[in-house]
Amino acid sequence: MSYYSILAVTPTSEDWIPDYIGPANTLVAKYGGEYLARTSAHEQIEGKTQDAALRIIIQWPSKQAALDFMSDPEYVPHLKARTAGSESYHFLVEAKDDLA
């Protein structure tokens, strides 16, 4: 079953970004992930305003793949740098319809 990482990221410092992109790209691919969106071109059309500079959507082949990516020893220092240098929210969503 596929899962989606849905992230809202607002950098508070840009120092971490150049060292983050390459390793993150490589490790997302290693775990079978695919970026569906990484963009500042987004707008909120419903609900209480929750600003974010970037919205990121990654499709994973499984929940375990997403969790393995997050805990990969090569990724952990980059995750720490991202969370220290940004306001980040990450949701893991199962690709299913509970209301069908």
Alpha carbon distances (Å) from 68 to 37, 46, 48, 87: 21, 33, 32, 22
Looking at residue 50, its pLDDT comes to: 87
50-68 pLDDT per residue, tens: 899 999 999 999 999 999 9
Cα–Cα distance, 68 to 86 (Å, whole number): 22
Alpha carbon distances (Å) from 50 to 9, 46, 56: 11, 10, 14
| β strands within the chain, DSSP E | 3-11, 34-39, 54-60, 86-94
Q: What is the CATH number of domain 3-40+53-94?
A: 3.30.70.100
pTM value?
0.93
Residues of the chain under the 70 pLDDT cut = none
